Amino acid sequence: MTSEIPWKIVVMDDEPDILDVVSIVLEDQGYDVKTAANGREGLDLCTGIHPQIVLTDVRMPEMDGLEVLAHLKEKFEDIEVIVMTAFGELEYAVKALHLDASDFITKPVDGVALELALNRARERYISRKKLKEYTAFLEQANITQAKLLHRDKMISLGRLSAGVVHEINNPLAGILNYARLMNRILGKGALTKERQEKFSRYLALMESESQRISQIVSSLLTFSRKTEPTREAVFVTRLIDKCILLSQHRMRLANIALHRDISGDIPPIKADPHQIQQCLINLIFNAMDAMDNGGAMEISAGYDAVNKSVFIKVKDSGHGITPENRQRIFEPFFTTKNEGYGVGLGLAILFGIMEAHNGSVGVESTPGKGTTFTLHLPAMP
Ligand SMILES: Nc1ncnc2c1ncn2[C@@H]1O[C@H](COP(=O)(O)OP(=O)(O)OP(=O)(O)O)[C@@H](O)[C@H]1O
Ligand SMILES: [Mg+2]
Instruction: Please indicate, yes or no, whether residues 191 and 174 belong to a single structural domain of this protein.
Output: yes
Q: Per-residue pLDDT tens for 174-196?
A: 888 888 888 888 888 878 888 88
Q: What is the CATH number of the domain that holds 295?
A: 3.30.565.10
Determine, yes or no, domain membership for 115. no
**Which ligand 1 atom sits nearest the alpha carbon of residue 319?**
4
Which amino acid, 310? Answer: V
Nearest to residue 362, comparing CAs of 293, 315, 322? 315
Determine, yes or no, domain membership for 256. yes
Determine, yes or no, domain membership for 147. no
Question: Which pLDDT score is estimated for 162?
Answer: 66
Instruction: Please indicate, yes or no, whether residues 244 and 367 belong to a single structural domain of this protein.
Output: yes
Distance, in Å, from the CA atom of 131 to the CA atom of 197, rounded to the nearest integer, reads 75
Ligand number nearest CA of 290 is 1
Q: Whose CA is nearest to atom 19 of ligand 1?
A: 344
Q: Which residues contact 301 (CB under 8 A, 6 or more apart)?
A: 236, 237, 240, 261, 262, 263, 266, 310, 311, 312, 313
Distance, in Å, from the CA atom of 328 to the CA atom of 344, rounded to the nearest integer, reads 10
Question: How much distance in Å is there from the Cα of 330 to the middle of ligand 1?
Answer: 9
Q: Per-residue pLDDT tens for 62-88?
A: 888 999 999 999 998 889 999 998 877
Determine contact, residues 321/349, Cβ cutoff 8 Å: no
Which whole-number Å values give the CA distances from 222 to 218, 288, 315, in the listed order? 6, 23, 25
Instruction: Please indicate, yes or no, whether residues 55 and 170 belong to a single structural domain of this protein.
Output: no
Instruction: Please indicate, yes or no, whether residues 286 and 351 belong to a single structural domain of this protein.
Output: yes
Determine, yes or no, domain membership for 141. no
**How many C-beta atoms lie closer than 10 Å to residue 73's C-beta?**
15
Instruction: Please indicate, yes or no, whether residues 94 and 167 belong to a single structural domain of this protein.
Output: no
Question: How much distance in Å is there from the Cα of 241 to the middle of ligand 2?
Answer: 19
Instruction: Please indicate, yes or no, whether residues 212 and 251 belong to a single structural domain of this protein.
Output: no
Q: What is the CATH number of the domain that holds 218?
A: 1.10.287
Determine contact, residues 302/310, Cβ cutoff 8 Å: yes
Instruction: Please indicate, yes or no, whether residues 241 and 217 belong to a single structural domain of this protein.
Output: no
Listed in order, strand segments (DSSP E) in the chain are 8-12, 32-36, 53-57, 80-86, 103-107, 232-234, 256-262, 269-271, 295-304, 309-316, 360-366, 370-378
**Which ligand 1 atom sits nearest the alpha carbon of residue 325?**
31
Question: How much distance in Å is there from the Cα of 354 to the middle of ligand 1?
Answer: 17
Determine contact, residues 364/371, Cβ cutoff 8 Å: yes
Question: How much distance in Å is there from the Cα of 136 to the middle of ligand 2?
Answer: 26
Q: Whose CA is nearest to atom 8 of ligand 1?
A: 286
Residue 297 burial class via C-beta count within 10 angstroms: exposed 0-12, middle 13-18, buried 19 and up: buried
User: What letter would DSSP give residue 379?
Assistant: B
Distance, in Å, from the CA atom of 53 to the CA atom of 122, rounded to the nearest integer, reads 8
**Which ligand 1 atom sits nearest the alpha carbon of residue 314?**
1
Determine contact, residues 14/57, Cβ cutoff 8 Å: yes
Determine, yes or no, domain membership for 126. no
Distance, in Å, from the CA atom of 238 to the CA atom of 234, rounded to the nearest integer, reads 8
Instruction: Please indicate, yes or no, whether residues 194 and 258 belong to a single structural domain of this protein.
Output: no
Q: What is the CATH number of the domain that holds 34?
A: 3.40.50.2300
Ligand number nearest CA of 313 is 1
Q: Give the count of domains, the chain.
A: 3
Which amino acid, 361? Answer: V
Distance, in Å, from the CA atom of 346 to the CA atom of 21, rounded to the nearest integer, reads 59
Q: Which residues line ligand 1 (CB under 6 A)?
A: 155, 282, 286-287, 290, 316, 318-321, 325, 329, 334-337, 342-348, 371
Segments of the chain scoring below 70 in pLDDT:
1-4, 134-148, 162-163, 166, 219, 222-227, 339-341
Instruction: Note down the domain range covering 238.
Output: 232-378
Distance, in Å, from the CA atom of 269 to the CA atom of 351, rounded to the nearest integer, reads 17
Instruction: Please indicate, yes or no, whether residues 256 and 193 belong to a single structural domain of this protein.
Output: no
Cis (ω within 30 of 0) for the bond into 323? no
322-325, long-range: CB < 8 A, 24+ apart? 322/367
**Which ligand 1 atom sits nearest the alpha carbon of residue 159?**
27
**Which ligand 1 atom sits nearest the alpha carbon of residue 341?**
27
Domain boundary among 172, 190, 224: 224
**Which ligand 1 atom sits nearest the alpha carbon of residue 287?**
1
Determine, yes or no, domain membership for 61. yes
Determine, yes or no, domain membership for 127. no
Instruction: Please indicate, yes or no, whether residues 181 and 64 belong to a single structural domain of this protein.
Output: no
Q: Which residues contact 168 (CB under 8 A, 6 or more apart)?
A: 213, 216, 217
Ligand number nearest CA of 158 is 1
Domain boundary among 86, 109, 132: 109
Question: Which pLDDT score is estimated for 2?
Answer: 45
| Strands 80-86, 103-107: pairing kind | parallel
Question: How much distance in Å is there from the Cα of 165 to the middle of ligand 1?
Answer: 24
User: Sign of the CA dihedral 268, 269, 274, 280?
Assistant: negative
Instruction: Please indicate, yes or no, whether residues 14 and 67 belong to a single structural domain of this protein.
Output: yes
Residue 235 CB-half CA count within 13 A: 9
Q: Whose CA is nearest to atom 25 of ligand 1?
A: 346
Question: How much distance in Å is there from the Cα of 171 to the middle of ligand 2?
Answer: 29
Instruction: Please indicate, yes or no, whether residues 205 and 239 belong to a single structural domain of this protein.
Output: no
Question: How much distance in Å is there from the Cα of 283 to the middle of ligand 2?
Answer: 7
Determine, yes or no, domain membership for 139. no
Ligand number nearest CA of 334 is 1
Q: Which of 256, 286, 316, 333 to mutate to test the pocket of ligand 1 (most atoms within 8 A of CB)?
A: 286
Ligand number nearest CA of 336 is 1
Distance, in Å, from the CA atom of 375 to the CA atom of 360, rounded to the nearest integer, reads 6
Q: Which of 283, 335, 366 to mutate to test the pocket of ligand 1 (most atoms within 8 A of CB)?
A: 335
Question: How much distance in Å is there from the Cα of 308 to the middle of ligand 2?
Answer: 28
